[in-house]
Structure 1
Amino acid sequence: MDTDAYSDTLPGPVIRANVGDELAVSVSNQLDRPTSVHWHGIALRNDMDGAEPATPNIDAGTDFVYRFSVPDAGTYWAHPHTPLDTDYGMYVPVIVDDPNEPAGYDQEWIVVLDDWTDGVGNSPRAIFDDLRSRGMGRMGMGRGIGTSRLLGGVAGDVSYPYYLVNGRIPVAPTTFRAKPGERIRIRIINAASDTAFRVALAGHAMTVTHTDGYPVEPTEVDALLIGMSERYDVIVTAGEGVFPLVAVAEGKNALARALLATASGEPPGADFRPDELTKRIGTVDMFTATPQAGLEITGVDVELSAVLTGGMMGYTWGINGRTYSERQPLPITEGQRATITFTNQTMMWHPMHLHGHTFQMLDSSGGLRARKDTTIVLPMQRVTVALVADNPGVWLLHCHNTYHMDAGMMTSLDYTT
C-alpha cells in the first residue's frame, strides 16, 4: 500500500529538543502537490507556522527549511496544513524537554492515535466529496457512527476501516516493555481527522499531569476523552503482566490498541474493552493548570466571539456565519488580554484550535482552569477561553476536524499595528 508519510514511517520519527533550542527542519516535498508542516501547539514566529497565509506552502519538488525556537516544554506534533493531507498519514510527534524539570518517571511512552482510510477504504478526497454532495449520507449514522454522551450527540461524520495506535491495527499492536513498579510517562497525541478517543490502560489508573503540553494539578482518572489534535500526558505505575492500552473510537463501535508488557503472558483478545473505560472518565473541565503554568490573566481588554455555524445539509461549516474564504478576522492588538467565546450553534461537536498561542480555559464563574491550544466545544454549548496577545501575526483559528475545516470552519486572529 502506498501512502503519504514523513520519512517512510507512521508516525514520522520523533523530533526532540530542549526549551530555548533553535530548530532547523529541512523539508523535501516529494509529493505531487504543495504541502506544508504546521508545528501544532508551539508558540513560534508567525512566518514559520507552516500554514498559509503566514507561511507559503512548499511546492512539489522543492525544499524548505523551517527555523524557529521552542519556548515552552511540552508534547506537541507536526502535520500538514494543506487540504485533507493530515488524513493521509503525515504527522510526527514533537517533544520539547525542560532539562530542569524533575523527571518523576522511569520511562516514556509516546502514543499516537489515528483513524485510517487511505489505501484500504475511500480516499480522504472521496470522503470529502461524498460529504459535500450527500451531507451525512452513507458516511454518517448508517455506517457505524452512533451518538456519544461525552460528545453531546453524534460522534462524527466518518466511519473508518481502521483505528491505529502508533501506526498499527488492533490485531497487530505495538508492545511497550517495562518493569513492574516502574513509573511510565505516557504522552498521548490524537492525530485523527474525525475521531475522538476514550483511552484507558487495563488494570491501571492514570494520573493526568499535562494538557496540550502544560502542567496541571495531578488528577487521577481511569480513562481520558481526547479530541482531535489534543494531547494529554499521564503517569502510570506499571503492574506485572501484559496489559492492553485501549483507545475506543468514541461513538463509533471500534477501537485501537497497543500493549504494555512487564512480564510474559498473553493479552486479551483484540476486541477487549477494559472496565476502566466506564469508570472515572477525564474531561477537560476536570483539570486546572499549576500556578507556574498559568497565564496570570487578571483582567480582560477585549472580548472576541467565534460562533460556530453550518451543518450537514450541503456540508458547509463556518465561523460567525462565514466560511474561511469569506472570513472577517478577529482583531487584536499586541499586549491585550482577551477572551474568545466559542458558541456552538450546530448539532456537531468541534475541537477548536488556535495557532501561535495557548489559552486558559475558564469555568462558569470565570476561574482559570487548564492551559491548552485546542478545546472541545459541544453541540449547542458555549466555551470561553482567555489568552494574552503576545505573538504578533496572522494566526489561524479553526475546527480540527479535517473535513469541517476544509468545508469552511476557519478564520484568523489578526494583530493590528
Structure 2
Amino acid sequence: MKTLLLLGCAMLMAPAATQARDSSAHSTPTPGQRVVEYDLHISEQRLAPSGRKVRALTINGTIPGPVLRFREGDFARIRVHNDLPDEETSTHWHGLLLPNKEDGVPYVTTPPILPGQTHTFQFTLRHSGTYWFHSHTHLQEQSGVFGGIVVEPRGGEPVKADREQVLILSDWTNIEPHEVMRMLMRGSDYFGIMRHNSQSILGAWKRGNLKDYFRREWSRMVPMDVADVGYAAFLINGQRQTRIEGRPGERVRLRVINAAAATYFHLTSSAGPMTIVAADGPPVQPVQVDRFLMAIAETYDLIITIPASGEYELRATAQDGSGHASAMMGQGVPHPALSPPRPNLYQMDQMLSLSLEEQESDPRAPLKLARPGSPYKLLKATQDTTLPAKLPHRKITLHLTGDMVRYIWSFNGKTIAEDPYVKIRKGEVIELELVNDSMMHHPIHLHGHFFRLLVGNGARSPLKHTVDVPPMSRRTVEFDANEDKDWMFHCHILYHMMSGMARVFRYEDSPPTHATPAESLGHAAGLKRDMSAAATPGMASHHHDGQLGEHSHDMSYLWGAASLQTQMSTGLLSWMNPKNNLLLSWELGWRRTPTTEHEVDSIYQRYFNMNFQAYAGFRFANHGGGNRAIAGFNYRLPLMFLADFTVDSNGNGRFQISKRFQLTSRLGTSGYAFYDTGSRWEWSAGADYTLMRNLSLSASYHSDYGPGIGLIIRF
C-alpha cells in the first residue's frame, strides 16, 4: 500500500521528477571560515582525444575536469550534478582526509548520484598538497570523469617556485570500457597486438629467447606482461602534448597526477634532474632524480627550471613502452627526452630485476635500472611521522593474487564479493604487509587514511595513500586506525579493482554506512522528495545487494566466437563470471557427408584454476552416438597442451588433446585430435590470421569434412 501511495504521488508530481534534486546532508562552516564553492556537471559528449570521435564523459565539458583550488582550512562546498541520461555517478576525493559520508564511494560511504540529481559534498580541507578526484562508479573513470585538486598550505609552500602548473596524466581508449573488460575476461590478445608486444614463437626467436618461450610453456605459465590494455593515446591535460609555461631561468612547481585507469608512467626530462618536493600530497625533503616510475593514482610535486635556451621535454612513457605523452618547456632547438627501453617479456629475470634491486642498500638502486622503479627509498618526510608506541599494534598480511587466464584479481585468492571486509579496531596501529604473488605491478590505495611507507627511513618514513607493489615483491606500511565506519582499499588499476582486487576496511563496533539511493533522497528533504524520486528515470533499473553496490557481486559477461568455412562451422557462446561458465559449443560439417552433421554441447563448467576445470551437460548430435548426457574435465599439460576427458550416458568415453601455436602476433595455428569409443578417431588442424579485433581469416583441414577456408567472427 505504501509503495502504491509513493508511486501515485510520484506520478502527480512528474514535472518535479525531471529537475535536479539535491541529495546531500547539510553541514555548515565555522564562523569566519572561508567557503570555496564549485559546481561540477558530469555529462556525456562525443570527443576525439586520440583523433577519432567516441563517447566520452566530461566534467564541465572537458577531460580532465577543472582543477579545484583551496587553501588549507577552507570549507569546501562542491555540488556534483549528474547530467547523464540513465547512469548513476559518484565522486571520490582521492587522498583527502574527510568525513566518511563525504568520501564518495557509492553504496559504501556515500549515496550514488542518480540521473538528474545533485549531491553537495561539504568538508573542511584539513591538510595541504596535490590530490585529485574521480568517479568511483563502474568504469566511468576510464571515460574521463577525473580532475585535479590543489590545497595550498597555510603560510605558503615550504619550497618556493616562481610559478606552478598541474599536469594530469591519463590513458585513452576508443573501445567502450565495458567492452575492454569483456575482452580482458575472455582472454583476447588483441591488446597485445595493439601494443606491439604480444608473445609469439617468431618474436622469441628474433630476440634470442626461444628457449625462454618454451621453458615458460613447459611450466604452464601464461605469457608475461606489464600492462593489460592497449591504448589509443596517452595524454597530459587531455592532449598528447602540452606546454609548461615559464620564462628562461624560472623555477616551476609541477603538480603531476597519474589519473590513468591502467597505465604506470616512466617520467624523464631532457632538461636535467627533477626535484621531488612532495609525494601523494605531504611534503618530503627535496631530492633530485633523473627518472622514476610513477604508479597509477600517485601524485608528485616536482621542481624544474626552465632552460636558458632550447625546447626541452618532460616525457611520460607508458610502462609497456607502447607510447608517451609530452610536456614541452622553453623555446628554440628541440631536445627530446628519451624513453626507457621496451620490456623484454620473454625473460622473467628482467621482470624480477626491480624486486631484486629494491633489496639493495643503495637507495638509488631501483632508479639506476634501464627501466627504473619508484623513488620510495629516497623519500623522507619533513618531520617525524612515528606513531605513538603506546597504541596496540596488529599485523595484517594480504597477498595480491591473480589469474590472467580468467582475469580474476583478488586478495588472498578471494575477490571482494567472496570476502568483503578486513575488520580493524579504532585506536590501534595496523601494520599492513602487502605480498605480490603476481607478475604485475599493483598500485594499492587506502581511502580515508595516510600510511607510513616503511622502506628504511625510520622516523622520517614518508606518508602516502597509494603504494606500488612490484611483481613478486612486498611492501610494508602502517597507519593509525583513527577513523570509524567503512573505507575502501583496492588496487587502483581500474580493471583489477572491478574484477575483485578490493576490500573494505571496516571498523568494529562502528555502525556501517547505509549509503543507498533512498537515503540519498532522504538527506535532501522529506516525504515529498522521496515520492518524486520514485519516478526518477533509471532508478528502478539498478539493483544492488548489501552495502557494496557493484562490488557485492562478481562481474559477468557474455561472449562468443564462430568460424564459418567452406566445409564446416565451429563456434562457442559463453556466459562467464570468475568461477562459472555456461557454454554452448557446436561443430557443423557438410562436405563429404550425405547430410549436414552436427554436434552441439550445452554444459555448465566450474573453473577451479587455470589448469583444471570440470563440466557436465548434454550433447545433441545426429551421429557418433546421438543425443546423450556428458560429464568431464579439462587439464592443462606441460607445453600448454590441453587434455579433455569426457564420459557420456551411453557408456562411451572420449579423450582429446589440443594445442595452439602462436607463430607471430597475428598468425597462429591450432589443432586437436580425439579418440571416442563410440565414434573412433577424429582430428583437425588449421591456421588463422587476425585482421582486426573481431575478425580473422581462417583455413583448416578436418578428418571428416576435408579442407576449407573462411572467417572467424568474435563477438
Please report the TM-score for the alignment, with normalisation by the length of structure 1.
Answer: 0.90
Matched residues in 2 for 1:124 and 1:276: separation?
A: 28
1:214 partnered with 2:263: no
Matched residues in 2 for 1:203 and 1:74: separation?
A: 25
CA 1:12–1:143: 2 relative to 1, 3 Å? same
Shift of 1:201: 2.2
Q: Report the counterpart of residue 253 of structure 1 in structure 2.
A: 322
Partner of 2:313, secondary structure, is: strand
Matched residues in 1 for 2:392 and 2:320: separation?
A: 38
Q: Report the counterpart of residue 491 of structure 2 in structure 1.
A: 399
8 Å contact kept, 1:20–1:70: yes
8 Å contact kept, 2:280–2:465: yes
Matched residues in 2 for 1:18 and 1:218: separation?
A: 22
Matched residues in 2 for 1:157 and 1:310: separation?
A: 13
1:195 partnered with 2:263: yes
Partner of 1:130, secondary structure, is: helix
Larger displacement relative to structure 2 (352-361 or 374-383): 374-383
Cα deviation digits, residues 291-317 of structure 1 (max 9, x gap)? 426254547611122221222121111
Matched residues in 2 for 1:346 and 1:132: separation?
A: 17
Which aligned pairs between 1:206-245 and structure 2 lie closer than 5 A? 206-240=274-308, 241-245=310-314
Q: Report the counterpart of residue 27 of structure 1 in structure 2.
A: 80
Which aligned pairs between 1:287-302 and structure 2 lie closer than 5 A? 287-292=378-383, 294-298=385-389, 301-302=393-394
Shift of 1:90: 1.1
The AA in structure 2 aligned to 1:412 is V
- CA RMSD in angstroms, aligned pairs only: 2.3
Partner of 1:3, secondary structure, is: strand
1:164 partnered with 2:228: no
Matched residues in 1 for 2:399 and 2:339: separation?
A: 38
Q: Report the counterpart of residue 267 of structure 1 in structure 2.
A: 334
Partner of 2:56, secondary structure, is: coil
Partner of 1:87, secondary structure, is: helix
CA 1:24–1:293: 2 relative to 1, 3 Å? farther
Please report the TM-score for the alignment, with normalisation by the length of structure 2.
Answer: 0.53
Q: Report the counterpart of residue 320 of structure 1 in structure 2.
A: 412
CA 1:221–1:384: 2 relative to 1, 3 Å? same
Cα deviation digits, residues 226-265 of structure 1 (max 9, x gap)? 111011111112212321211111123311112112xx42
Larger displacement relative to structure 2 (99-108 or 210-219): 99-108
Shift of 1:186: 0.7
CA 1:218–1:131: 2 relative to 1, 3 Å? same
Partner of 1:177, secondary structure, is: coil
CA 1:177–1:368: 2 relative to 1, 3 Å? closer
Q: Report the counterpart of residue 706 of structure 2 in structure 1.
A: none
Partner of 1:322, secondary structure, is: coil
Matched residues in 2 for 1:145 and 1:157: separation?
A: 11
Instruction: Considering Cα pairs closer than 8 Å and 6+ residues apart, tell me whether 1 or 2 has the greater RCO.
Output: 1
Matched residues in 2 for 1:155 and 1:139: separation?
A: 12
1:139 partnered with 2:207: no
8 Å contact kept, 1:19–1:71: yes
Q: Report the counterpart of residue 471 of structure 2 in structure 1.
A: 379
The AA in structure 1 aligned to 2:338 is P
Matched residues in 2 for 1:130 and 1:16: separation?
A: 38
Q: Report the counterpart of residue 150 of structure 1 in structure 2.
A: none
8 Å contact kept, 1:216–1:287: no
Partner of 2:489, secondary structure, is: strand
CA 1:99–1:162: 2 relative to 1, 3 Å? same
Q: Report the counterpart of residue 104 of structure 1 in structure 2.
A: 160
Matched residues in 2 for 1:290 and 1:109: separation?
A: 23
Larger displacement relative to structure 2 (84-93 or 153-162): 153-162
Shift of 1:344: 1.2
8 Å contact kept, 1:214–1:289: no
CA 1:374–1:293: 2 relative to 1, 3 Å? farther
Partner of 1:174, secondary structure, is: strand
8 Å contact kept, 1:211–1:232: yes
Larger displacement relative to structure 2 (214-223 or 293-302): 293-302
The AA in structure 2 aligned to 1:168 is Q
The AA in structure 2 aligned to 1:79 is H
Matched residues in 2 for 1:141 and 1:388: separation?
A: 45
Matched residues in 2 for 1:379 and 1:98: separation?
A: 36
Q: Report the counterpart of residue 225 of structure 2 in structure 1.
A: 154
Shift of 1:367: 6.8
Shift of 1:127: 0.7
The AA in structure 2 aligned to 1:330 is V
Larger displacement relative to structure 2 (358-367 or 406-415): 358-367
Sequence identity, in percent?
34
Larger displacement relative to structure 2 (324-333 or 29-38): 324-333
Q: Report the counterpart of residue 135 of structure 2 in structure 1.
A: 80
Partner of 2:462, secondary structure, is: strand
Partner of 2:57, secondary structure, is: coil
Matched residues in 2 for 1:146 and 1:203: separation?
A: 34
Larger displacement relative to structure 2 (284-293 or 246-255): 284-293
Partner of 1:178, secondary structure, is: coil
Shift of 1:83: 0.9
1:68 partnered with 2:139: no
Shift of 1:138: 2.1
CA 1:369–1:146: 2 relative to 1, 3 Å? farther
CA 1:106–1:352: 2 relative to 1, 3 Å? same
Equivalent of residue 115 in structure 1, options 161, 165, 171: 171
Partner of 2:235, secondary structure, is: strand
Matched residues in 1 for 2:273 and 2:375: separation?
A: 17
Matched residues in 2 for 1:215 and 1:9: separation?
A: 30
The AA in structure 1 aligned to 2:79 is S
1:389 partnered with 2:481: yes
8 Å contact kept, 1:180–1:239: yes
Q: Any stretches of 5+ residues in structure 1 without a counterpart? A: 148-152
1:15 partnered with 2:104: no
Matched residues in 1 for 2:339 and 2:136: separation?
A: 37
Equivalent of residue 38 in structure 1, options 58, 83, 92: 92
Matched residues in 1 for 2:338 and 2:189: separation?
A: 33
Matched residues in 1 for 2:262 and 2:502: separation?
A: 16
CA 1:142–1:13: 2 relative to 1, 3 Å? closer
8 Å contact kept, 2:377–2:455: no
Matched residues in 2 for 1:361 and 1:141: separation?
A: 37
The AA in structure 2 aligned to 1:167 is G
Cα deviation digits, residues 73-126 of structure 1 (max 9, x gap)? 010000000111110011110111113134511110111101111xxx212111
CA 1:34–1:399: 2 relative to 1, 3 Å? same
Matched residues in 2 for 1:252 and 1:146: separation?
A: 13
8 Å contact kept, 1:24–1:67: yes
8 Å contact kept, 1:311–1:347: no
Matched residues in 1 for 2:165 and 2:189: separation?
A: 39
CA 1:377–1:182: 2 relative to 1, 3 Å? same
Matched residues in 1 for 2:339 and 2:411: separation?
A: 39
Shift of 1:182: 1.1
Shift of 1:24: 0.7
The AA in structure 2 aligned to 1:4 is L
Which aligned pairs between 1:319-358 and structure 2 lie closer than 5 A? 319-358=411-450
